[in-house]
Structure 1
């Protein structure tokens, strides 16, 4: 009974501490329940289809949220424990055993946990409709969302948070049994570290910290040039992790040492430094930053990673949609052999609005490519040729194609699928050799928006002049039909158009090509010419059709779930980082209560003390926030150097949300901080 009373009294007397803890838990319960409820929404699962593993993906998202909330609660629990060490020591002095003190902790956690579960589940049931609507929106589904009570999701949520509460209780028990009675009364003394003057160590390590951060920022602007001498996609994609490592180490040194340099420089202005309470603000802030360097470093990197991941996931979503556009620029792209059948099926439901036949010729060719200043590679393989006038006809119904103007008869433009993703990584020699002694002079390359390369044997394509196209004699020629239909957003029309047609490989070609004294020798044919076992003849096939809507729907569903999970996890991470800072400042306020009361007795007005509190907290909150935003900006800049995309803009929008969250946290924290230090014991 006494344990329950002590726990309830502790919660009531220090409700401002537990309010942050409780709000974070309620927020986590609400999100977790909503995720699990979506996984059991049969209407939504049926709409998504079996090819998209919605339930498994939402389980993964729920697991990610559980990991984040466990980290949050363990961190906050550590702050609570460090703040109450003297209270625990008093409990021991009056004869309470450690298991009884652990019971007080468990009772407090139980009170908070039960309250959070009840409120969180209630909000989860209410807001699960909103969560479902957001998911339906990002997946472009056409179903209605409704409020449903999911008992399986509720049971899983209760089980998950009971496990978390038990884990926190074990953590509290471990902390309690790790300290001896005398340690409880010495803990504050260990934390009271003061730095009166700038040392050589601080100067050196502080400059190193700034240097590491600047090195990471410079890396983000020169990632391609740095990778030029020894290009490797794995190395290139690992550079973001190098940026994180540099910024993490630099951030730690910044809060541990660089801040002393900045305050020392600030103190050189004597008139400004000794005016009012400026000196006191500087000294107190320096001590806060020094003692909380580990926490502030973690929060800064947490913010940077959260914003970077949000921007990266949005970019990944954008690139996925752009990939569908690249491979399916029109509603249908089909082989000429299938066009008649598909046309009859379509005319039963709707009509074809635009169509263009694409006539290709396949010929043996040889060209040289260089991957970012590495050794040049010579490739001898079949090349698709398309006449420039045919290309321009295709432009009329395919707005993604870049304009092409050829200067000479033997000029050509390379269609380069690498330009759809990585930028400026591959360069080509201007001369391309073809069989029959033909030569082409390339005038550059453009992104590949002709359609799925599988319909073109997955081989290189070049746009050539009409004169040269007509001059080429080859037995390997084929035709594709690109067309759009009326009401192309109706999936039933797509199903009707493809009725009785299966996606399959067709039209094989056979080739054997080699480099003979600087010229291309061999053949490309629709019939095999293999005459011996030693022959090096190759065989390739092409796909018979692609359609945009099924691919677009599948991509939207698949990437929409991914974006949905990352977005909510990122927002939760931002909320958690602000909550940790708030709890930390509350703990600091309890420690410094006597200091502020002494200032009041010395004649410092309440208004000046309030200004001191607000100035100190604005540095503690906004310094890691701004530094995290800078880290995220340059991380996104690095990704944009490698894979350009408009999706990164979501990271910048998330910065606005972060600033709003931190302004709210700052205002609430500063107000409660002042109330704590100004109230009597």
Structure 2
């Protein structure tokens, strides 16, 4: 009997359950994809580069789990609110509350189970696609990667079943605490047009001031640092809610009072509908605006962070090439690269010191980064070489030449102390000579294949110098640094893109749920208009216009938040607005789909094709 009640209840609200089902698949699939890439142990062991992005996907999993938890709690609570009257009738005819709780449990876990199965199925496909893209970008194989990874599958199932179960407990508690009379009359609400409050102007001033402070903190983040990290989110959020609480009802009221607009068609009815609902929607719209900023910002940040890899590496490692004792094979590769600058340096080493030849350093002082101006310049003020042997074991060098020697010899700089010696003393040092070749090109990224080949050829040289053979992606070269940074940036890019995509879909779903929740109370209004002769075309246009205005408010402020908010990264990124148009277009595409879906479903509810239903609703 309980299963039959549950099935009938699901059939009666099939459209609402389909929206919940569709909205839940995206976060579940992205959650599974993040988790699979984060814990796929064989894949991680086979590719050391994946270690650099493992933490990124773990962070993405945690963030998505928090938002998914809130989203599922909200949507299941929303579906319960639509069926309060139905559950009240069950109690009225003698069904016990414990039995109704079992009905809610059955329905919620059934829809949760379907969502999890479909989400994991799509997540497996998504994981394979992303792994292939990562492998192509990082030039690695998919050895050891399992798109269907059982530990990730089990954790995803348990985590989301737990969320759905928690939502059941909370919904059952709400139902238990509600008297039958309240459940029976849950659909009867009195709508009031927003009144003019004396505090509206104060809220507008405070909201504008808060938003101004928040935006200022974002723009000046480089200078106010930690204070900005607190001020920006707090004041921007506060300003958003205050402005939506004050300006949105005021704008709707002004539209309603504008005679020129009001007297066109059935605009009077449209604006009245808006004014009836705006008090209920304004805080939800403020939340949606913040979600738009977070989601579109996450996608934009991923693009900008990936674009910032090369400038970051250029700043950290000045020379594109650092070779030890290049042989014939390496010389062949070198000759294929047009260098703007190429220098040779000689040194010897024993157990205590690296001995650098003074004449080489004076002839070709390497480039270094100035500590004060952060500009690239030549090292200067090279001291005279020390005579060997000397009583003092350490040679005090100017700051310039500590950096210069690290630039010349990154693999061995920190392993021993350094001495600069004359050619006479250098010849008397019995150790074998090592030649270091530094090279710089106009565009490092044009010769990635050559840098990779040189790094692979250098592995044997590193074994002779260091006594062990490092991984190809961890030797002291610019290409190795670029590869590590690029791997981390690629992980951040994918995390930001899919996290933003999941946020956008959940955000739009929430707005859709909120709008559709009041649709049943509007049926009689549209039925009356049809009965007095208003054509369906005008009613449909009224619905489209009303919902367009509702969707427009958070979209405008959300995009403004993104445009201003990305400015906070200007001091750590070359171009924080790199391809920001992609995130904005993606938001517009998803938002538009949900807008038209909401309009379509709203029309299906309030504009039934069967005229017999209209008579029924107006009776």
* Counterparts of 1:191 and 1:457, CA distance in 2: 79
Aligned residue number for residue 601 of structure 1: 531
Aligned pairs (5 A) from 1:139-538: 139-143=138-142, 148-185=147-184, 187=186, 192-196=191-195, 198-217=196-215, 220-221=218-219, 227=223, 235-333=224-322, 339=324, 342-344=325-327, 347=330, 350-351=333-334, 353=337, 354=339, 356-357=342-343, 416=372, 418=374, 455-456=403-404, 481-483=437-439, 487-490=450-453, 491-502=455-466
What displacement does 1:587 show?
0.8
* Counterparts of 1:169 and 1:345, CA distance in 2: 71
Tell whether the 8 Å contact from 2:362 to 2:382 is kept in structure 1 after alignment.
no
The 3 A distance-change label for structure 1 pair 191 and 166 is farther
For structure 2, the 5+ residue unaligned runs are 347-359, 385-399, 408-419, 427-434, 441-446, 469-474
Aligned residue number for residue 103 of structure 2: 104
* Counterparts of 2:500 and 2:569, CA distance in 1: 18
Aligned residue number for residue 407 of structure 1: none
The 3 A distance-change label for structure 1 pair 200 and 615 is same
* Counterparts of 2:422 and 2:557, CA distance in 1: 60
Aligned residue number for residue 568 of structure 1: 498
For structure 1, the 5+ residue unaligned runs are 228-234, 361-385, 395-400, 402-412, 421-431, 437-451, 460-473, 505-544
The 3 A distance-change label for structure 1 pair 87 and 557 is same
Secondary structure class of the residue paired with 2:193: coil
* Counterparts of 1:388 and 1:209, CA distance in 2: 62
Tell whether the 8 Å contact from 2:322 to 2:438 is kept in structure 1 after alignment.
yes
Q: Deviations along 1:517-543, whole A, 9 cap, x unmatched?
A: xxxxxxxxxxxxxxxxxxxxxxxxxxx
Count residues in correspondence.
541
* Counterparts of 1:60 and 1:50, CA distance in 2: 17
Tell whether the 8 Å contact from 1:299 to 1:624 is kept in structure 2 after alignment.
yes
Q: Deviations along 1:80-130, whole A, 9 cap, x unmatched?
A: 222222222222211222221111111111221222233223333333321
Say yes or no: does 1:614 pair with 2:544. Answer: yes
* Counterparts of 1:476 and 1:82, CA distance in 2: 86
The correspondence for 1:558, drawn from 464, 485, 488, is: 488
* Counterparts of 1:241 and 1:140, CA distance in 2: 40
What displacement does 1:287 show?
3.0
* Counterparts of 2:68 and 2:460, CA distance in 1: 48
Relative to its length, the structure with more helix (as a share) is: 2
What displacement does 1:52 show?
1.4
The 3 A distance-change label for structure 1 pair 613 and 215 is same
Relative to its length, the structure with more strand (as a share) is: 1
Aligned residue number for residue 429 of structure 1: none
* Counterparts of 1:453 and 1:552, CA distance in 2: 25
Q: Deviations along 1:484-536, whole A, 9 cap, x unmatched?
A: 698222342242443422399xxxxxxxxxxxxxxxxxxxxxxxxxxxxxxxx
The correspondence for 1:664, drawn from 571, 587, 593, is: 593
* Counterparts of 1:344 and 1:358, CA distance in 2: 14
* Counterparts of 1:60 and 1:253, CA distance in 2: 31
* Counterparts of 1:613 and 1:141, CA distance in 2: 53
* Counterparts of 1:630 and 1:246, CA distance in 2: 15
What displacement does 1:419 show?
6.6
Aligned residue number for residue 7 of structure 1: 6
Secondary structure class of the residue paired with 2:517: helix
What displacement does 1:660 show?
0.3
Tell whether the 8 Å contact from 2:311 to 2:574 is kept in structure 1 after alignment.
no
Aligned residue number for residue 368 of structure 1: none
Tell whether the 8 Å contact from 1:205 to 1:257 is kept in structure 2 after alignment.
yes
CA RMSD of aligned residues (A): 3.9
The 3 A distance-change label for structure 1 pair 178 and 267 is same
* Counterparts of 2:250 and 2:66, CA distance in 1: 37
The 3 A distance-change label for structure 1 pair 351 and 269 is closer
The 3 A distance-change label for structure 1 pair 670 and 359 is same
Task: Name whichever of 570-579 and 261-270 sits farther off.
Answer: 261-270
* Counterparts of 2:401 and 2:251, CA distance in 1: 57
What displacement does 1:344 show?
3.7
Tell whether the 8 Å contact from 1:332 to 1:546 is kept in structure 2 after alignment.
no
* Counterparts of 2:321 and 2:507, CA distance in 1: 48
Secondary structure class of the residue paired with 1:482: strand
Aligned residue number for residue 447 of structure 1: none
Tell whether the 8 Å contact from 1:52 to 1:557 is kept in structure 2 after alignment.
no
Aligned residue number for residue 412 of structure 2: none
Aligned residue number for residue 23 of structure 2: 24
> With structure 1 as the length reference, what TM-score do the two structures score?
0.70
Tell whether the 8 Å contact from 2:206 to 2:239 is kept in structure 1 after alignment.
yes
* Counterparts of 2:496 and 2:75, CA distance in 1: 23
The 3 A distance-change label for structure 1 pair 5 and 49 is same
